[in-house]
Amino acid sequence: MGALDAIDLAIMRTLQENGRISNAELAERVGLSPSACSRRLDMLEKSGTISGYHARLSNKALEYKMMVIVHISLSGQFAKTLTEFESAVRLCPNVLVCYLMSGEYDYILRVAAKDLEDYERIHRDWLSALPHVVKINSSFALREIIDRPNVGL
């Protein structure tokens, strides 16, 4: 797989910002003919450098107005404990992000809820039911300052 040159990066940057423009417009923006642009895009997709395209839905429109950051501690760091916890957390549709962390807590989660009542349900039915959990700490987001899908190139 060849290295990415400046035009490849321009294509990636453009599609990261506006993932549904036509190939013709993309070609014009990066200074290439449509045919050449189409070939490069095809290469970027097939090589996995661009792994997909996703519509960003307004959480407001979906009525997910509440974002909760959840810190979780487990009863141990054994491989089996971690695996069982991770398999369970993957099933909860409201968990947008989950990372195994260094530091005070074992996992950090980002959970979307419609309102406080909805979060109470998620906490009761999903989070409390996760295996090996010994401590759950929920912090509520008061305001969103930034929410980017990728690093600004």
Binding site for a copy of itself (CB under 8 A): 4, 12, 15-20, 47-62, 64, 67, 69, 86, 89-90, 93-105, 107-108, 110, 112, 139-153
Site string for DNA, 29-58 (x = CB under 7 A): ---xxxxx-xxxxx----------------
79 binds, among DNA, a copy of itself, none (CB under 5 to 8 A by kind): none
Look-up of token digits 């404990």? 81
Which does residue 3 touch among DNA, a copy of itself, none (CB within 5 to 8 A, set by kind)?
none
Question: What residue has token string 């450098």?
Answer: 49
The values of phi and psi at residue 151, to 5°, are -65, 135
Amino acid sitting at position 64: Y
User: Which residues, 2 to 21, sit near DNA by CB under 7 A?
Assistant: 2, 7
**Residue 81: partners with Cβ closer than 8 Å, 6 or more residues away:** 74, 75, 131, 132
